Amino acid sequence: MSPSLRILVVGGVAGGASAAARARRLSEEADIVLFERGSYVSFANCGLPYHIGGVIPERGRLLVQTPESLNARFDIDVRIRTEVVSIDPQKQVVVARDLDSGRESVEAYDALVLSPGAEAIRPALPGFQDEKVLTLRNMGDMDRILAAIPPGGGGRALVVGGGFIGLELAEQLRHRGMAVAMVEKLPHVLGVADPEMTFPLQEELGRQGVDLRLGRSVTAFEREGESLLARLDDGDCLSCDVAVMSVGVRPEARLAREAGLAIGPTGGIRVDDQMRTSHPNIYAVGDAVEVRDFVSQDPALIPLAGPANRQGRIAAEVILGRASRYKATQGTSICKVFDLTFAMTGLSEAALRRKAMPYQRIYVHPADHATYYPGAQPISLKLLFAPGDGRVLGAQAVGVAGVDKRIDVIAMAQRGGLTVFDLEDAELCYAPPYGSAKDAVNMAGFVASNVLRGDVALWEPEELAALDGNQMLLDVRTFQEHAGGSIPGAVCAPVDELRDRIEDLPMEKELLVFCQVGLRGYVAARLLAQRGFRVRNLSGGYRRYAMWKGTHAVPLACETPARSEDGK
């Protein structure tokens, strides 16, 4: 590579810093300059809420690299507090402005990498410019939130928006001892997820003292002495010391648009699979770019740190002559909400419906490890798959422990083009403290494969409203479980007594069976089907019904597996 190769990188953090560092590892001769308009070139933006809450007490731990460390290790010319204000693709130059002195310089490039990121959306509501109405995207934002928190502890905070950042902020502000209210305009938190899978998170928020206002919007902010008053669309008012807007982000594509680069239908910078923009010597990475969704192959905006790092690496490799390619984004993500964890990969059911993509779904609620080993906790896992070949389309899980492991495994299966039949065969780690011989991933594969093979038919809670008397709801749990809460109108016939009660069941009716989490219901469905009954099982059982209905479920006890499942 020519010693005269000059690579300019606009924007640091995940994508830009990765591109600059990778370029240096591939070429000692290249001249690499990184422009960052902020004061920090590389920081852990995903860690910002946790410093606010005091979980990460030392602010300096969030600084991944400094200008000095990047220069010392990689010989990169880092210019912080410097904004690139224009690009001339024909002349291959940019104009950079020093924000402290106002001086501008013209910088030539052989290759240009854009990593401007995304900006927090601030709806233009009355009073939204008040100094107590903040967002959280960078170190400066974090410092402003900390400064707004009453120094003696306590105080009141309002989080507007129940997405990933909003949920993390609500938790951390509660850790600071603040009274926290959350306003979310959707009927459930985490709009990227399916409603029934977020219901446990909403229960947890309530248990932890968060005042959750679903289906509500803030219409205006106004001052009331030293406090801030947020007016809601239902006429209610919430008083707080600080309000944090967490209603989403939009790609910062202005610089690219003004330079004449193509912008995709989502508003992100259009790139090919080598992160090249519509101009051959300009690349773009990170939250500002439009990617392909892995499942649908549609254009999408999916702002995540992992993909941004990989994109920066790929752009540098292509600039230095390698044939690297970015292989779409799955949207694999995770969120801690007090004592619960939610994670997902691929598309949600709602997204599949919007895209008119055919799918099937199953639910399982296995334990995170062997139930006979102390401390086992249930995981609620939803798996979405293609009706024909069983290709994995998406998965969501929520629980106390082991959620990350299961979604990571399914994400890798999806990335590798595997199916639910492959999940059956997945050979995963097992010892009683860590898992089960039939892991949660295996269990999801078993249930989905049974559906595709025709071993069991399923029914859905949505069908209850249309029952016409030709069906019978059959609760195959114990009488004690049934008495503790059941689906209205269900008849209890415990699975272990079912053979003795066959003659009591109406052959002319379709039997809609269910248990607590789906396992006993499946056993009952197989038994009844082989006796000539028309029968379907409720995937995920009564727990699934309770999540769907949005009411408090009876305490979930993990179903005890047979002793032979672990070979002992």
Helix (H, G, I), strand (E, B) or coil at 165: helix
CA distance 545 to 539: 9
Print the SS3 string covering 390-457.
CEEEEEEEEECCCHHHHHHHHHHHHHCCCEHHHHHHCCCCCCCCCCCCCCHHHHHHHHHHHHHHCCCC
What's the chain's length in residues?
568
Which residue, among 443, 247, 289, 420, has the nearest Cα to 346 in the 3D structure? 420
Catalytic residue among 46, 335, 429, 492: 46
If you write DSSP's letter for every residue of 53-105 in order, what string do you get?
TTSS--GGGGEEE-HHHHHHHH--EEEETEEEEEEETTTTEEEEEETTT--EE
Asked if 382 and 458 touch (Cβ cutoff 8 Å), the reply is: no
Beta bridge mates, 507 = none
Asked if 320 and 23 touch (Cβ cutoff 8 Å), the reply is: yes
Asked if 231 and 218 touch (Cβ cutoff 8 Å), the reply is: yes
Q: State the DSSP H helix or E strand holding residue 245, giving kind and residue range, or none if neither.
A: strand 242-245
Q: State the DSSP H helix or E strand holding residue 149, giving kind and residue range, or none if neither.
A: none
Give the pairing type, strands 156-160 and 179-184: parallel
Asked if 200 and 552 touch (Cβ cutoff 8 Å), the reply is: no
Helix (H, G, I), strand (E, B) or coil at 246: coil
Task: Write down the residue that tokens 């016409």 correspond to.
Answer: 468
Asked if 74 and 34 touch (Cβ cutoff 8 Å), the reply is: no
Active site residue 429: no
Which residue, among 456, 458, 439, has the nearest Cα to 527 in the 3D structure? 456
Alpha-carbon distances of 337 from 185, 285, 292, rounded to whole Å: 19, 29, 29
Q: Catalytic positions, please?
A: 46
